Amino acid sequence: MPSFALRRVRRASPLVLTLAAACALAACGSDDDATSTNAAQATGTPRSGGSLVFATEKEPECFDTQVSQSDVSGVIMRNVYESLVSQAKDGSFKPWLATKWTVSPDARTYTFDLRDGVQFSDGTPFDAAAVKANLDRIADPRTKSKYAISLLGPYRDSTVVDDHTVRVRFKTPFATFLRNASTTYLGFHSPKSIEEHGSRLCAGGPDQVGTGPFLLQSYTRGQQAVLVRNPKYTSAPGTATHTGPAYLDRLTFRFIPDPTVRVGSVVGSQVDAADAVPPNQLPKVQRDAALKVVSTDTPGVGYTWYLNTTNDLFRDRRLRLAVQQAFDGEAAVKAVYFGAYARSWSVLSPSTLGYDPALKGTWGYDPAAANTLLDEAGWTGRDGDGYRTKDGQRLSTRLLFVPEYTSEDRAALDQALQADLKKVGLELKLVPLDSAAYEPVRNAGKYGLIGFAWGGGDPDLLRVLFDSTQLFDDGGNNAARLDDPQVDAALHAGGATTDVAKRKAAYATVQQRLIQEGVALPTAVQKRQIAVASKVSGLTFDANGWPLFYDVAK
């Protein structure tokens, strides 16, 4: 069920037309690995060796990231499959398997200069032919790519210019390709492994061959995936803090779905780190001196309610704003997340490129104003239950949800909204539907509100959520059923340019308009919180808010 899963869309917009990122970065020349490691040790920092057990909530259903769409596959295989470029948290691009790149002015042709001397762990050289083989594989419908193919957009073809130069062409301008190319999903398999194991690359195991700092040694379904260090690794990304082989000898991902058990395992020192610590378990971790919490705001859109602008009630802006003003977001977020999460002021979380900080404090809880708006809209009567009426009709609307996809915290936020709206005389019915029944009702727009989160590091994700051509029936996720020329124009402006300042301005317009029009009501800034043994260092996050292990030491 689309809208409920914490989603990943990172179909992104272009960013910097990074022309020729220079080799100034450590990652780029061929370095003497031993020296850099020793240098690091001399300064008393990371030690090489040791093993780390990382407990995850989810388990990959498929390890072939060119096919899979799951986040956890991406997190694990990031250590095996590498990309052309890497994206820093500020949105800029750094060299990785490509040392420099050029983008044609019409954003249809990308030319990459590939790094010299990189080999896949099976000895196959990484070259222009390998890039072409991988991209062609993703674009081939027989690969049945669930996600990577969408990152290739209007892919036309790849040309091997010479061994170390590849040209990728698109049928129409495709300004988001650099960002897409930085994701694990467009990471590279050894062409030999594609040839020999092609359709079986989902299975997880030593057949998964990339250029990365770790090798996938074994996978036991329902239990764990074990990765070991690639001793010959030379292709660290420009965003990493060291070069040469990884520090850890061994990196184990253990799949522990139950949060109590996962957190208990790290408290009991049976694993070194536990992902996705729920807010209610946080105090247990914070009390423990042997543990620390490493966290990052999840980029993208946190749990947000979308008000159906084609609905009888919410086509009236005053009613939308009344909902916005009646909701005591501060109190609700504090109660539901035990004070661990901040309240959101924009649909975008602060860690997303283009987040507009100017919205902070510009709107919020004002029940008196909400009551005035509802009076103005003519809902002046009251019925026996205290709800407002107009012409004998109760002021009532529905929020649809699918219980199996609605986590406890989100259900609690829905109930908080329901209680707040009741105080201003608006009845909110929380309507549970099973996933099969939900979709047709949702697609037909028969609701007042629905809520969901949408992950991703680039503001272009707002296009799927608010562009007038992205209704559910169009395959998009425009849950507010918004048709606003200003928003459309700003979304297109933001997606068409690679100029960061222009993009920020465009997406600021979108964010402000969404709040001013009361179209979307954001709740909390979600976090990814990882409980980590104190002796573990170097755990950081990428632009998507995913944990990175290459620089981790123990």
Partner 1 sequence: MRPGTARAVLLRLLAGLGVMWGAATLTFIALQLVQGDQVAGVLGTNSLATPAVRAQVIHEYGFDQPVLVQYLHWLGRLVTGDLGRSYQLNTPVTQALSGQIWPTAQLAGAATLIAVVVSVVVAVLTTGRGRRVRSAASGAELVAVSVPAFWIGLIALTYLSFKWHLLPGAGATGLSGLLLPAAVLSIPLTGILSQVLREGLDEALRQPFAISVRARGVGPTALVARHALRHALASLATLVGWMVGSLFGGAVLIETVFARPGLGRVLLSAVTSRDLPVVSAVVLLVAGVFVVVNVVVDLLYLRIDPRLRTPRSA
Where do contacts with partner 1 occur on this chain (CB under 8 A)? 1-3, 5, 7, 9, 11, 55, 59, 61-62, 64, 67, 69-70, 141-142, 144-147, 149-150, 199-200, 202-203, 220-224, 254-258, 260-262, 264-265, 267-268, 270-271, 404, 435-436
Q: How far apart are CA 515 and CA 483, in angstroms?
A: 15
Q: How far is CA 125 from the centre of its chain?
A: 31
Query: Measured from the CB of residue 14, what is the shortest distance to partner 1 in angstroms?
Result: 18
Tell the smallest beta-carbon distance from residue 554 to partner 1 (Å). Answer: 19
| C-beta closer to partner 1: residue 27 or 274 | 274
Edge-first strand order for the sheet with 388-390 is 381-382, 388-390, 393-394
In whole angstroms, give the CA distance from residue 167 to residue 51.
40
Beta carbon nearer to partner 1, 3 or 239: 3
Q: Which is nearer to partner 1, 247 or 255 (CB)?
A: 255
Element (H, E) at 514: helix 500-516
Burial of 365 (0-12, 13-18, 19+ CB in 10 A): middle
Spatial contact of 174 and 106, defined as CB atoms under 8 Å apart:
no
Q: What's the rounded Cα separation, in Å, for the pair 181 and 176?
A: 9
Residue 211's closest CA among 81, 331, 306, 68?
A: 81
* Number of Cβ atoms within 10 Å of the Cβ of 287: 9
Q: Check: CB of residue 159 under 8 Å from CB of residue 170.
A: no
The least distance separating partner 1 from the CB of residue 220, rounded to whole angstroms, comes to: 6
The region that residue 460 occupies, defined by phi over 0 for left and psi between -120 and 50 for alpha, beta otherwise, is alpha
Q: Where are the alpha helices (DSSP H) in 406-453?
A: 408-423, 435-443
Pairing assessment for the beta strands 250-255 and 51-56 based on DSSP bridges = parallel
Question: What's the min distance (Å) between Cβ of 141 and partner 1?
Answer: 4
At closest approach, how far in Å is the CB of 260 from partner 1? 6
In the complex with partner 1, the residue whose CB is nearer, 84 or 461, is 461
CB of 123 to partner 1, least distance (A): 26
**In this complex, which beta carbon is closest to partner 1, that of residue 3 or of residue 79?**
3
What is the total residue count of the chain? 554
Q: How far is the CB of 203 from partner 1 (least distance, A)?
A: 5
Query: Which amino acid, one-letter code, is at 504?
Result: K
For residue 166, the tally of other CB atoms under 10 A from its CB is 25
Cβ of residue 492: shortest distance to partner 1, in angstroms?
A: 19
| 3-state SS class at 372 | helix
For the bound state, the minimum distance from the C-beta of residue 163 to partner 1, rounded and expressed in Å, comes to 31
The amino acid sitting at 100 is K
Instruction: List phi, psi (to 5°) of 279.
Output: -55, -35
Of 397, 413, 482, residue with least CA distance to 451? 413
* 163 vs 404 by CB, closer to partner 1: 404
Nearest-approach distance from CB 54 to partner 1, in angstroms: 12
User: From the CB of 390, what's the least distance to partner 1, in Å?
Assistant: 38
Q: CB-wise, 161 or 261, nearer to partner 1? A: 261
Three-state SS for 503?
helix
> Of 69 and 243, which CB lies nearer to partner 1 in the complex structure?
69
Residue among 121 and 145 whose Cβ is closer to partner 1: 145
- DSSP string for 227-244: EEE-TT-----TTSS--S
Amino acid at 540: T
Give least dist CB 254 to partner 1, A. 5
Report in angstroms how near the CB of residue 23 gets to partner 1 at its nearest. Answer: 35
CA torsion angle 299 303 309 312 (round to 10): 180
The Cα–Cα gap between 219 and 203 comes to 8
Instruction: Please provide residue 251's backbone torsions phi and psi, each rounded to the nearest 5 degrees.
Output: -135, 115
State phi, psi for 155 to the nearest 5 degrees.
-55, 135
List the structure tokens of 304: 């947000």
